[in-house]
Chain A
Amino acid sequence: GAVVSQHPSRVICKSGTSVKIECRSLDFQATTMFWYRQFPKQSLMLMATSNEGSKATYEQGVEKDKFLINHASLTLSTLTVTSAHPEDSSFYICSARVGAGPDTEAFFGQGTRLTVV
C-alpha cells in the first residue's frame, strides 16, 4: 500500500509556542490531505482538508488562525499549531488517499502526540 509519513511522532512544547507537524506522501502524489485530531478514548475528528496550491478547508469550530495548514507540494502538507495551550494537547493524524475518487482507500501517518506544558 501507499505510505504516508508524519513527523515528529512526539513533541512537548511550552504554552504560547508554536509547533509544526509534517505529513508526507512517500510514494504517491496527494492533491488533498486530511488532518484529524484524536483526544484520549475518542474518535478521530476531521479538522481540515488540505488542498495543494490553495487554501485549506476547515471544519466547523476549528480556528483557521490557530491551526495553520500549508500544502505547498503534491507530497507535503504541514499543520502548525500556533500559540499552543494545554487544551491543544492531543494526537494529530494526517491522511491522504490515492486517486481522487470518493471510494479510494485512505492512508494514515503515524500520528503526532502533542503535549503542551
Chain B
Amino acid sequence: GENVEQHPSTLSVQEGDSAVIKCTYSDSASNYFPWYKQELGKRPQLIIDIRSNVGEKKDQRIAVTLNKTAKHFSLHITETQPEDSAVYFCAAIGLTGGGNKLTFGTGTQLKVEL
C-alpha cells in the first residue's frame, strides 16, 4: 500500500516568514495529493490539493508543488500569520492493489510566533 512520509514534525516561524513542509510517497500510481489543516479537536480541513497532471498550484498565500519523478510534494505558506498555527497533514491516494484509499503523513505542528 501507499506510504507517506512528512517532514518536519514541528516547525516554528516568525510571523511574516514562509513555511515549507515536505512529503514523499511510495505508490508511483498515486495521482491525488491533498493537504489538510487540523486544529485541536477538529476535523481536518482541506487547504489545497494537486493532481498529477500539474506540477504546481497556488491559492493566495498557499502553494503546493509536485515532483512525480521523485515522488515528493511540498506545501509552501508565505507571509505566515498566527492563525496559520495548527497541525498540517499531507496525504496521497494509493491506487496499487485497488485501494483507492487516502493515506496521511505523520503531520507537522506549525507554530507562527509574533
Q: Which of A59-95 contact B (CB under 8 A)?
A: 91, 93, 95
Contact call A44/B32, Cβ cutoff below 8 A: no
Closest 3 CB pairs of A and B: A103-B32, A108-B43, A43-B104
Which A residues contact B (CB, under 8 angstroms)? 34, 42-46, 49, 91, 93, 95, 102-106, 108-111, 113
* Assembled-state Cα–Cα distance A106/B95 (Å): 15
Q: Which of B26-70 contact A (CB under 8 A)?
A: 31-32, 34, 41-44, 46, 49, 51
- Given A44-B104, A46-B101, are A106 and B34 neighbors across the interface (CB < 8 Å)? yes
Minimum C-beta distance from B8 to chain A (A) = 14
Contact call A103/B104, Cβ cutoff below 8 A: no
Contact call A102/B44, Cβ cutoff below 8 A: no
Task: Find the B residue at minimum CB distance from A100.
Answer: B100
Q: Which residues of B contact A46 (CB under 8 A)?
A: 101-103
Extra 15 A-B pairs, beta carbons < 8 Å, given A34-B102, A102-B32: A42-B106, A43-B104, A45-B104, A46-B101, A46-B102, A46-B103, A49-B101, A91-B41, A93-B43, A102-B93, A102-B95, A105-B46, A105-B49, A108-B43, A111-B43
